[in-house]
Amino acid sequence: KNQVEQSPQSLIILEGKNCTLQCNYTVSPFSNLRWYKQDTGRGPVSLTIMTFSENTKSNGRYTATLDADTKQSSLHITASQLSDSASYICVVTDIMFSGGYNKLIFGAGTRLAVHP
């Protein structure tokens, strides 16, 4: 069964510190891997997207890495801010050849709390 697992489940850090969130997946083959940020009570917002041939992608203070051989991805947040407090969700796009549409496989997310 295609799965996406994230760790840690939750994380508390102090403002200004860096942190790294992990994502392991078994989806194969896959089209792309995205990291989303979901604020409480809001919909997910895309931070980064990587295809299987990309190793890293940055978006401001967010840097995602991908190792397609070990099926691992990480999201590194630099110089955290209070507004970074949110859930971060790893999403792998499955390739479903029947019907032709790609299905998103969601991880359970990491809940990050940034404290002053």
Partner 1 sequence: GAVVSQHPSWVICKSGTSVKIECRSLDFQATTMFWYRQFPKQSLMLMATSNEGSKATYEQGVEKDKFLINHASLTLSTLTVTSAHPEDSSFYICSAREGVNQPQHFGDGTRLSIL
Regarding 79 and contact with partner 1 (CB under 8 A), the answer is no
Among 12, 79, 82, 108, binds partner 1 (CB under 8 A): 108
In the complex with partner 1, the residue whose CB is nearer, 39 or 67, is: 39
In the complex with partner 1, the residue whose CB is nearer, 31 or 78, is: 31
Token reading at 35: 């990291």
Q: Considering only residues 32 through 51, tell me which ones interact with partner 1, judged by CB under 8 A.
A: 34, 36, 41-46, 49
Asked whether the beta carbons of 35 and 45 are under 8 A apart, the reply is no
Q: Using only C-alpha atoms, what is the Rg of the chain?
A: 14
CA distance 102 to 10: 29
Could you tell me the smallest distance in angstroms from the CB atom of residue 16 to partner 1? 27
In the complex with partner 1, the residue whose CB is nearer, 101 or 116, is: 101
Number of other CB atoms surrounding residue 80 within 10 Å: 19
